[in-house]
């Protein structure tokens, strides 16, 4: 079992206080957006044996187990994070596995450098993800029913939004959503900036259901993504609740601290709320134009105290243990690799004492007994 030393990424949208508070350290005044736990080549966790990427590469079957290697290859198929949003992240979608493979092969064939700012596919993998709230957590997830989106836009009283309102009342609904998003993203930038400014002022004035969009507009004045965001469901997670984001589902995180787990990929198609490249044709190919409930997940408890967040993919499995004072020890030994993350209290994992924000990597088959008082998240795979 290896104690992990993890990198904190200073993305501009990050909170300046949430991760330092969890870790029990003084804020630096700079944004601290994500703490990465895993073997992603961009920032692999460090161990006493070297980086976790190097440890796994040296002996994949020993570290990951034969079943996981057979199913996912000689790499850790997930990345675990602490994510702290102090401002909205970009409005985005992720491709499914076949779309990612096709897109990556196409861009490779066209000779687009992997680090080019207009490159969409950094790898050939999909990027399903799960966010579990540690604090109250605001996000956008999936399309509203078109008539509800129409009512929200109409309530702003902005004349230039009336064509979108009319389109949202058209049928079939998937075509209505596609037409409106396409119109928003391809509109004249100067005209759209004026529309966004009017809409933002109305959101400020009206408050209530409009308040999240006023906040988004404050961070991204004039961005078409402000209007696109109003097509999506707003959801506020309470601590312990989660969202699963599958392929093609438009989403954005707005504010809060959570534990995030995802398949090991960097493939993102952006819709707005970003200065980065927006490839509208490719985005429209990937987005699933269907209204959906955000589907807030609550963990399912098992008799041994494990609370599992059920998802339809195998690259990751996230669960947590809320360990009471004086409770019995739990044997977490598995034939698959694990990362254990303490988010509250003090938990003993093998020979390691973990406090809030500390984590360990447990190789496949390694004895993993945990005890103490606190909250422990467990990330592994289904092999």
235-271, pLDDT tens digit by residue? 999 999 999 999 999 999 999 999 999 999 999 999 8
Q: What is the pLDDT of residue 49?
A: 96
> Residue 277 — very low, low, confident or very high, per pLDDT cuts 50/70/90?
confident
DSSP state of 186: H
Pair 235, 138: CB distance under 8 Å: yes
* Measured distance CA(266)–CA(381) in Å, rounded: 19
Confidence of residue 34 (pLDDT cuts 50, 70, 90): very high
Contact present, 307 and 317 (Cβ < 8 Å): no
Residue count of the chain:
383
Tokens 């200065």, located at residue: 275
Whether the per-residue pLDDT at 327 is higher than 90: the answer is: no
pLDDT number for residue 93: 96
How far is residue 35 from each of residues 22, 31, 53, 274, measured CA to CA in Å? 11, 12, 16, 21
Assess whether pLDDT exceeds 90 at residue 375: yes
Can you read off the two tokens belonging to residue 81? Answer: 């994070």
* CB-CB contact of 52 with 4 (8 Å): yes
Please give the radius of gyration of the chain, using alpha carbons only, rounded to the nearest integer.
22
84 within 8 A of 32, measured Cβ to Cβ: yes
State yes or no: pLDDT of 328 exceeds 90: no
**Residues noted as catalytic:** 270
pLDDT at 366 over 90: yes
What are the residues whose beta carbons fall under 8 Å from the beta carbon of 152, sequence distance 6 or more?
A: 144, 209, 210, 230
What is the average pLDDT across 279-285?
Answer: 92
Cα angle 238-207-12, degrees, rounded to a multiple of 5: 60
Q: What percent of the chain has pLDDT over 70?
A: 100
| Residue listed under structure tokens 């596609």 | 178
Of 289, 211, 202, the closest CA to residue 250 belongs to 289
């Amino acid at each position: 079992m290896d104690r992990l030393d993890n990198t904190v990424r200073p993305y501009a949208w990050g909170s300046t206080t949430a991760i330092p508070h969890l870790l029990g350290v003084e804020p630096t005044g700079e944004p601290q957006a994500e703490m990465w736990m895993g073997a992603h080549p961009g920032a692999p966790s460090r161990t006493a044996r070297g980086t976790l990427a190097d440890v796994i590469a040296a002996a994949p079957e020993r570290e990951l187990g034969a079943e996981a290697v057979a199913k996912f290859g000689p790499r850790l198929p997930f990345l675990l994070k602490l994510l702290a949003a102090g401002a909205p992240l970009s409005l985005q979608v992720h491709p499914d596995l076949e779309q990612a493979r096709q897109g990556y092969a196409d861009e490779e064939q066209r000779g687009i450098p992997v680090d080019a700012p207009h490159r969409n596919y950094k790898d050939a993998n999909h990027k399903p993800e799960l966010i579990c709230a540690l604090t109250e957590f605001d996000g956008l997830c999936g399309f509203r029913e078109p008539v509800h989106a129409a009512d929200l836009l109409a309530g702003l009283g902005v004349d230039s939004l009336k064509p979108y309102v009319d389109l949202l009342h058209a049928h079939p609904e998937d075509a209505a959503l596609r037409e409106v998003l396409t119109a928003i993203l391809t509109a004249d930038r100067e005209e759209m900036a004026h529309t966004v400014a009017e809409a933002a002022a109305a959101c400020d004035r009206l408050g209530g259901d409009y308040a999240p969009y006023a906040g988004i507009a404050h961070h991204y004045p004039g961005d078409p993504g402000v209007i696109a965001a109003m097509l999506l469901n707003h959801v506020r997670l309470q601590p312990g609740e989660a969202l699963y984001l599958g392929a093609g589902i438009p989403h954005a995180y707005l504010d809060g601290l959570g534990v995030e787990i995802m398949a090991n990929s960097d493939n993102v198609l952006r819709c707005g709320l970003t200065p980065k490249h927006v490839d509208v044709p490719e985005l429209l190919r990937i987005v699933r134009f269907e209204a959906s409930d955000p589907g807030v997940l609550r963990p399912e408890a098992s008799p041994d105290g494990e609370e599992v967040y059920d998802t339809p993919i195998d690259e990751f499995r996230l669960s947590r243990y809320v360990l009471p004072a004086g409770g019995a020890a739990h044997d977490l030994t598995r034939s698959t690799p694990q990362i254990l993350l303490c988010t509250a209290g003090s938990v003993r994992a093998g020979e390691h004492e973990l406090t809030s924000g500390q984590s360990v990597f447990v190789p496949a088959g390694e004895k993993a007994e945990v005890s103490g008082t606190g909250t422990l998240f467990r990330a592994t795979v289904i092999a």
